[in-house]
Chain A
Amino acid sequence: MFARIPARAVARAIPSRTLAATSVKAFATSAVSKDISATSKKDRIKVNFPGALDSHFSQKLEIRERMEPIDTFRVMDTDGKVLDPSLEPDVTEEFAIKIYKDMLTLNNVDLILYEAQRQGRISFYMTNAGEEAYIGSAAALDPEDEIFGQYREAGTLLYRGFTLDQFMNQCYSNDLDLGKGRQMPVHFGCKALHFQTISSPLATQLPQASGAAYAIKRSGRKNCVMCYFGEGAASEGDFHAALNIAATTSCPVIFFCRNNGFAISTPANEQYKGDGIASRGVGYGMHTIRVDGNDVWAVYKATQEARKIAVEQHKPVLIEAMTYRVGHHSTSDDSSAYRSKKEVEDWKRHDNPIVRMRKWLENKGWWDETKESSHKSFARSQVLKSFAAAEKRKKPPVSEMFNDVYDKLTPNLIEQKKELEELIKKYPDHYDTSNYAPEK
């Protein structure tokens, strides 16, 4: 190819200004030959290939391995000090404290449910430890912006008002669980709070978020979609499909990557070779931001700006929030098998999003030790109260197994439901339903 169409020849044939003023028509009609020095910058000639209209011809064979790494936006240092006075968050005391309290409460929910799983009281759990600052992203959204999550974003639901009872009911698969006990713990969902139900298969939510954003745009609502995912999930084909389709169809969606350094045991440096996930956003022609994911105010600010672009310009934005997964992947995982305890301890000590926010609040004079311990014990007692209440409740009625497969029961399901009812009647000891709520 190189040999057949030398860039030089094309350059000579097409005067740059005609092309810059541009159109295929110009290309077709004018072919005034002019000798152009391809080395001088202003005379560089743009290509006319439909696949990359911003490119210029060049006689320098460029083999590019990387772009300049994208900087990581930060508002506070690890001591909660605002680094540039112009970035001082313009927020009320009430707003800031709500964010902080939710971070603390989330941490308490995590501690108690993690422990509950260790005691065999619930079957599974995933903590948010180390990543609590993503709550800043929830704070920057409109309550009616639609959320598509991965699974480690319970804090966004907490921020929106999902109650502790609702969290506990889901984790206990009891009769008050909105998901009717059908999915594993942490697969929350709530229509009233615009939070689509979590699904375990990774990255599937990403193209769905693009489609949802497209529908919102067409409806004329001034809202966007927020889509969370991990840096591991970003290796799935669905990630690439989602970004590209969002960019080409101009979807008001924010793709929020929690880059916590691990996908179960696989470290980020085995997950990809490029400049994180952010570099890919640029590749798809999207607005892209990389942010310190342990800095609530940076996350807040980045999301605010992203939301503006999404809602006002109908364009997708990629945010990569850099953080560290302090907890094990889940209760099925023991991370000491693939990373040192010291590494984890160091992260906990040196860069803790909760501590950072607390120090910022204390510097403002909005928080102190008394408030800290009183909120902690309040949160813990509230969590334990909800926990105990959820544990006492029965599971949903057994017939709920058959509902919602379709909008209405189909003939095969009607038959199978009847078969099960008869079996339960015939073998009450074997099919013990005492732990399930009575049929309505």
Chain B
Amino acid sequence: MSIATLRTSYLAASLASVSRSMLKQQVPIKSQYAATNSPPPPEGFMPGVANSKFIRNTHHEALRNPELAGVANGETKKMNTFQAINDAMSIALATDDTACVFGEDVAFGGVFRCTMGLAEMFGRDRVFNTPLSEQGIAGFGIGMAAMGSTAIAEIQFADYIFPAFDQLVNEAAKYRYRSGGEFDVGGLCIRTPCGAVGHGGHYHSQSPEAYFAHTPGLKVVIPRSPIQAKGLLLASVRDRNPVIFMEPKILYRAAVEMVPVGDYELPLGKAEILTQGKDLTVVGWGAQLYVLENAIQLAQKKMPGLSVELIDLRSILPWDVETVCNSVNKTGRLLIAHEAPKTQGFAAEIATTVMERCFLRLEAPIQRLCSYDTPFPLIFEKFHVPDMIRCAEGIERAMKF
């Protein structure tokens, strides 16, 4: 073999295609992902979302929401969740000269494409890559915000937010309080993708909201859909407190809505009642809501006439105690579901508060449907998370108590 052919044979197309066909011929496909004969998308599949009743597929449906009154006469555009987040950041940058977007790999668009096109549109001094350091990113954002600027920082995965824990918990959260109100970092918003995707294993799946919910001074927000993501993100960026905005990554492509193109905010600290009901209150947030939607349908097949009030909490901190307790006072039963492990998950906080405030109205033990208390296990994911069946069982337990 000549040197020339030797060189090109290395990892070259010819060899790749040889291994491609050899693989298929010599080792016929039989595996979990093989059904599609193509790799799973990085953010996973959540096929049910498209058929959800909570997805606003049309212009009209989207704008029926009273919270969107400000843009009720405007246009809407079909967007998935990452596009809606991108749109929100684009508006934040356009309406606030001090705003910057930064983080690992954001300049080329981010590993989940959320910042695509922003560097080209607003310049590399406003949308830029940082060195690979989460504590650096968080601290840098705090510094910008301390100068009155707006910092929209991305932590590439919520699983990698822990190097920034000190900056967020000890610094951002206490900046105003410790200075007697002299200083604050209200302009800081940390965006980070969270949650299960089907193949993320330990470190591309976690939902660490409860760690931050234990920190006075922070706000924590988790949207369920493109319309919600855009309005909640704009509110989070503009809120005068540091906000951690956790994006369920499985919804980046799976959830598509007609999103108002205008500038709008959705309220922080306010839950949204997705369906009204009288027998049972179900509380969830993010992607778990779609699991709950299916679980409720399943339970209703077994228990015809079952009337469930489903609440999207939206803000984990501060959370909407009033909406949840009003609902439980009406229904007398509560189920909370989240993807994070059960012990010390945020459901524990909700359950305790409801127990304190609605004790005499409760007709069944509060149900917590959460992941099991193990690290997030790759190959056991479907057994680990509180799926439709487990949530439906929980509904039945609450109703039959």
Contacts and interface: CB of A to CB of B under 8 A. Distances in A.
A388 B27 contact: yes
Q: Which of A115, A326, A395, A410 has the most CB of B within 10 A?
A: A115
B31 interface: yes
Nearest to A233: B132
Given A183-B202, A199-B203, A120 B135 contact: no
Given A235-B132, A412-B343, A111 B11 contact: yes
A423 B16 contact: no
Interface stretch (A33-41, A259-267, A298-306): A259-267
Given A182-B201, A184-B378, A401-B377, A236 B37 contact: no
A120 B380 contact: no
A200 interface: yes
A352 B24 CA distance: 29
A337 B197 CA distance: 23
Q: Which of A264, A338, A372, A388 has the most CB of B within 10 A?
A: A264
B201 A184 contact: yes
Interface in A320-368: 326-327, 331-333, 337-338, 348-349, 352, 354-355, 358-359
Nearest to A417: B372
Interface in B227-243: none
Interface stretch (B141-149, B158-166, B304-312, B327-335): B158-166
Interface stretch (B100-108, B277-285, B318-326): B100-108
Interface stretch (B1-9, B63-71, B252-260): B1-9
A400 B375 CA distance: 12
Contacts of B135: 236-237
Contact of A266 (B33, B132, B201, B204): B132
Contact of A270 (B31, B129, B342): B129
B360 interface: no
A272 interface: yes
B26 interface: yes
Q: Which of A265, A355, A424 has the most CB of B within 10 A?
A: A265
Interface stretch (A52-60, A121-129, A215-223): A121-129
A173 B379 contact: yes
A190 interface: no
A176 to B, nearest CB: 13
Interface stretch (B85-93, B212-220, B266-274, B382-390): B382-390
Interface stretch (A83-91, A284-292, A427-435): A427-435
A380 B9 CA distance: 15
A427 B36 CA distance: 25
B16 A201 contact: no
B269 to A, nearest CB: 31
Contact of A201 (B160, B375, B389, B393): B160
A202 interface: yes
B38 interface: yes
Given A183-B378, A271-B132, A355 B202 contact: no
Contacts of A384: 22-23, 26-27
Interface residues of A, number: 81
B38 A120 contact: yes
B202 A120 contact: no
Contacts of A352: 7, 10
Given A112-B23, A116-B23, A355 B33 contact: no
A201 B159 contact: yes
A3 B46 CA distance: 67
A348 B30 contact: no
B380 A121 contact: no
A316 interface: no
B301 interface: no
A123 B33 contact: yes
A124 B1 CA distance: 34
Interface in B4-45: 6-8, 10-12, 15-16, 19-20, 22-24, 26-27, 29-40, 42
Nearest to B34: A120
A266 B378 contact: no
B170 to A, nearest CB: 14
Contacts, number: 207
B117 interface: no
Q: Which of A233, A266, A373 has the most CB of B within 10 A?
A: A266
A276 interface: no
A18 interface: no
B218 to A, nearest CB: 21
A182 B377 contact: yes
A431 B163 contact: no
A420 interface: yes
Nearest to B11: A129
Given A124-B199, A187-B201, A326 B40 contact: no
Given A355-B10, A387-B27, A423-B390, A200 B203 contact: yes
A237 B11 contact: no
Contact of B10 (A116, A354, A388): A354
A237 to B, nearest CB: 5
Nearest to A123: B199
Nearest to A200: B203
A193 interface: no
Contacts of A19: none
B365 interface: no
A120 B37 contact: yes
A175 to B, nearest CB: 10
Nearest to A353: B10
A293 interface: no
B16 A111 contact: yes
B131 interface: yes
B201 A120 contact: no
Contacts of A348: 7, 10-12
Contacts of A181: 377-380
B383 A431 contact: yes
B27 A391 contact: yes
Which 9 pairs of residues, A with B, have the shortest CB-CB distance?
A: A181-B379, A200-B203, A235-B131, A123-B199, A120-B33, A401-B380, A184-B201, A332-B42, A173-B379
17 contacts: A115-B20, A118-B38, A119-B20, A119-B34, A120-B34, A120-B38, A123-B39, A184-B378, A236-B133, A265-B108, A369-B1, A372-B1, A392-B30, A401-B372, A413-B374, A416-B372, A424-B383
Interface of B: 1, 3, 6-8, 10-12, 15-16, 19-20, 22-24, 26-27, 29-40, 42, 104-105, 107-109, 111, 129, 131-136, 159-160, 162-163, 199-204, 342-343, 372-375, 377-380, 382-384, 389-390, 393
Given A123-B378, A266-B105, A400-B380, 15 more contacts: A107-B10, A111-B19, A115-B20, A121-B34, A123-B33, A181-B378, A187-B201, A236-B134, A271-B131, A352-B10, A369-B1, A392-B30, A402-B374, A430-B389, A431-B389
